[in-house]
Amino acid sequence: MWGLGPGILAAIGSFLCLNYFFLPPYFTFNIARPQDLLALIIFLVIAIVISQLLGQDKQSIASAQAREREATQLYEVSTALTGLLDEAAIAQILAKKICEAFVGDEIELWVDGIPGSTTHICAGEPRLASTRPDLVFPLATARGPLGTMHLWRKGKPFTESEKRLLSTFTGQGALALERAQLVENESRSRAIEESDRLKSALLSSVSHELRTPLATIKASISSLRSETSDLGEEPRRELLAAIEEETDHLNQLVGNLLDMSRIETGSLDPQRKWNALREIATGVVERMRQVLQRHRINLDIPPDFPLLPMDYVLIEQVFSNLLSNSAKYAPPGTEITIRVRLHPDQTALVQVINQGPPVAEENLERIFDKFYRVTAAEKITGTGLGLSICKGIVEAHGGQIWAENAPGQFIFNFTLPLTWHGSLPQIPTEV
Amino acid sequence: MEPHILVIDDEPQILRALRTILTAKQFQVTVASRGEEGLALAAAQLPDLVVLDLSLPDMDGVEVCERLREWTQVPIIILSVRDGERDKVRALDKGADDYLTKPFGIEELLARIRVALKHSAQAQSQVTPQLLVPAGPLTIDLSRHIVTRDGEEVKLTATEFKLLVYLATHSDRVLTHQAILKAVWGSEDMDHTEYLRVYVGQLRKKLEANSDQPRYLLTEPGVGYRLLSDS
């Protein structure tokens, strides 16, 4: 209870009490002496003034508290929006914070122009949004409009201070949206830059890699065709073998490039069927006998290992790339092991283990990057695409791939899911 | 008389190479660079074998295959570039007998041509199909339902035998997963390649010396299986 009315009332009441109890003649409202009358009037004025001052003080405390509440809410909004880069999430947080500020009110709001944003209802039934909104705030920054916020409230209209609060909220929201868009634009332009860099790396790698076999083929053929040179039978056979090997090499290169571009554009679409890892692995080893002739191959695959949903040709490609990588880096005469086990997390774990040199821990992930090479490019042939293709294929199958160093060994690991759409293969029983 | 081979491919260099090589190997060769042209040439003079590229400028090779199959059983060998498993399967299901992936070795092509010509000659001369299919140490007796390995009988389950019979009656030809599943398990089970994996695995264990390096029951990656016979 404070303000002008109660203040004057209290002042008059205490004035009358003073007069009645303490001024002679006692217990009457009469006043005998004129100076008492003056004192009473001064008392009344002071009481009124003090009550006024107190009232104003209280009012300013209340408005200070209201401002503090607003400031807290604003602080909460801006903290909640910090670091958010998803536009729909920003709209969601904004809506949630407005609901918290107007707790108990039936408010509906909708942020327009943001991908994936929906109507948000603080309390009550969803029925207001079909009518005209009570308030519309543009979500705009200096860079232009980013969206609009529509608000409905049941019962009472928004007051001026509430509008002010909402406008500050939407201001914060607009800033967050702008930040999100800036970050997205930046990462997009960085991706374009990266892809340009990759393209030129690809071109230089490809032209180098294509020309090397072409040089061999050209030299061999022109020598074979030359009428002046008189080659023996053995050199002729050598040259012809070189031509065939180099054409195979070229074919593999082109295949790698195709696979890579398919992975890059996301059009790698595994034709999953139930397949046996053992069948794929043994087939690859058989086919790659030439490449693997200087290494001992050890297959450690349980014969009764479950069938997995895989694209036969793509997984064959993974094995072939991992094996040819192993054959390239592991010293001749050492053993390369293909080991398959059930992983505790209900996937199949495939390991290709060679006795090659370790790779520095910080580079273990990078070897699956395009064009990344541990050793100088001149020493080892290849496009630097093999392992990144493996990664693309394994990930398209829902698996993971990684490499690790072990004492005396270098291990490629990859996992593949055991189930397909949540189910295992159905094997018919013999009737 | 020299066997007549029709080559349909739009790559002039491939045509040039195939014409030179096949002529040198005592075949009579006709070439076409478009699908319609190839179909017209085949209708004018039926070749003994067709070598067909899948990517032609005027029509899909699979369509050429389909249109040839409307009126002739001439053996068709598909040439296709790598990574076209789906196209290969489609062509095989539309009646092609075999396929080769570009780039291919000429020995491989000649071997496939010889097998296809032999089978078509047998199909024309014999009314009853061959009842004994030899494959290395294996002999598959289709009439008596007996399989022997080095003269000793191998016990097979009913399904294993049914599968083997289907592969043997179409020996040396690439059979797609779908075709095998339909023939052995019926059309409802055509998507269950897992059946095939399991039963082919079992057959290999019983019939092959080393089931990890099969020499007769061969996998055609991403496409199907083939039983390599001695015929």
Domain-by-domain residue ranges, chain A?
4-76, 85-188, 202-264, 276-417
Q: Which residue has the higher pLDDT, A58 or B36?
A: B36
The set of residues, in sequence order, having a beta carbon less than 8 Å from that of A239 and lying 6+ positions away, is A220, A221, A223, A224, A231
Answer whether A162 touches B (CB < 8 Å): no
Contacts of A258 in chain B (CB under 8 A): 82-83
Task: Kindly list the residues from chain A whose CB atom is less than 8 angstroms away from the CB atom of residue B159.
Answer: 428, 430-431
Q: Enumerate domains of chain B plus CATH numbers.
A: 4-125 (3.40.50.2300), 132-227 (1.10.10.10)
**Which residues contact residue B126 at a Cβ distance below 8 angstroms, ignoring those fewer than 6 apart?**
none
Q: Which of A195, A173, A190, A205 is nearest to A84 (CA)?
A: A173
Give one DSSP letter per residue of B101-132, joined into a string. EES--HHHHHHHHHHHHHHHHHHHH-SSPPSE
Residue to substitute from B80, B188, B194, B198, interface A, most A β-carbons within 10 A: B194
- Contact between A369 and A263 under an 8 Å Cβ cutoff? The reply is no
Rama region for B172: left / alpha / beta (φ>0; ψ in -120 to 50; rest): left
Question: Contact A279/B195, CB-based, under 8 Å?
Answer: no
Q: How far is the C-alpha of A327 from the C-alpha of A260, rounded, in Å? A: 22
pLDDT at A377: 46
A276 reaches B (C-beta below 8 A): yes
User: What's the pLDDT at A288?
Assistant: 87
Q: Tell me the nearest-neighbour CA distance from A290 into chain B, angstroms.
A: 16
CATH pick for A202-264 out of 1.10.287.130, 1.10.260.40, 2.60.40.1180, 3.40.50.300:
1.10.287.130
Q: How far is A425 from chain B (nearest CA, A)?
A: 6
Cβ-based contacts of B185 with chain A (< 8 Å): 428
B31, B19 contact by CB (below 8 A): yes
Looking at per-residue pLDDT, the higher value among B208 and A384 belongs to: B208
Contact B85 A307 (CB under 8 A): no
Task: Confirm or reject contact between A312 and chain B (CB < 8 A).
Answer: yes
Give A1's pLDDT tier (boundaries 50, 70, 90).
low
Strand order in the sheet with B138-141: B132-135, B138-141, B146-149, B152-153
pLDDT at residue A180 tops 90: no
Class in CATH terms, A85-188 = alpha beta
pLDDT tens-place values along chain B, 231 residues long: 789 999 999 989 999 999 999 999 999 999 999 999 999 999 999 999 999 998 889 998 899 999 999 999 999 999 887 567 788 888 898 889 999 888 888 998 999 999 899 888 877 776 566 678 888 888 888 888 888 988 888 999 989 999 999 998 888 888 999 899 999 988 777 778 888 888 999 999 999 988 888 999 999 888 899 998 876
All residues of chain B having their beta carbon less than 8 Å from the beta carbon of residue A311 are 222
Candidates B83, B189, B219; nearest CB to A283: B219
Was domain A276-417 assigned CATH 2.160.20.10?
A: no
Contact A276 B221 (CB under 8 A): no
Q: Which helix (H) or strand (E) holds B47?
A: none
Per-residue pLDDT band for A339 (boundaries 50, 70, 90) equals very high
The reply to whether B186 touches chain A by the CB within 8 Å rule is no
Strand (E) positions, A223-375?
A: 273-275, 296-300, 308-310, 335-343, 347-354
- Residue of chain B minimizing CA distance to A254: B82
For A150-162, the pLDDT digits (tens) are 888 877 788 888 8
pLDDT for A386: 86
**Residue contact A251–B198, C-beta within 8 A:** no
CA distance A52 to A50: 5
Restricting to B residues 121-160, those with a Cβ less than 8 Å away from any Cβ of A are 157-159
Are the Cβ atoms of B83 and A283 closer than 8 angstroms?
no
Enumerate the residues of chain A whose CB falls inside 8 A of the CB of residue B194: 273-274, 307, 425-427
CB atoms A430 and B85 under 8 Å? no
- Quickly state the pLDDT bin for A340 (edges 50, 70, 90): very high
pLDDT for the residue numbered A380: 56
**CB of B219 within 8 Å of any CB in chain A?**
yes
Q: Give the rounded percent of residues in chain A with a pLDDT score beyond 70.
A: 93
CB pairs under 8 A between A and B: 59
* Token pair belonging to A39: 């004192």
Q: What is the pLDDT of residue A129?
A: 64
Q: How far is CA B118 from the centre of its chain?
A: 12
User: Going by C-beta distance under 8 Å and a sequence separation of 6 or more, which residues neighbour residue A363?
Assistant: A372, A374
The side-by-side arrangement of strands in the sheet containing B175-176 is: B175-176, B224-227, B217-220
Cβ separation of B85 and A427 shorter than 8 Å? no
Higher-pLDDT residue of A230, B168: B168
Q: How far is B37 from chain A (nearest CA, A)?
A: 30
DSSP H or E stretch at residue B71? none
Asked if B82 reaches chain A (Cβ–Cβ under 8 Å), the answer is yes
What number is the ipTM of this complex? 0.82
Of the candidates B103, B105, B159, which has its C-beta nearest A430's C-beta? B159
Residue A199 or A410, more confident: A410
Higher-pLDDT residue of A404, A126: A404
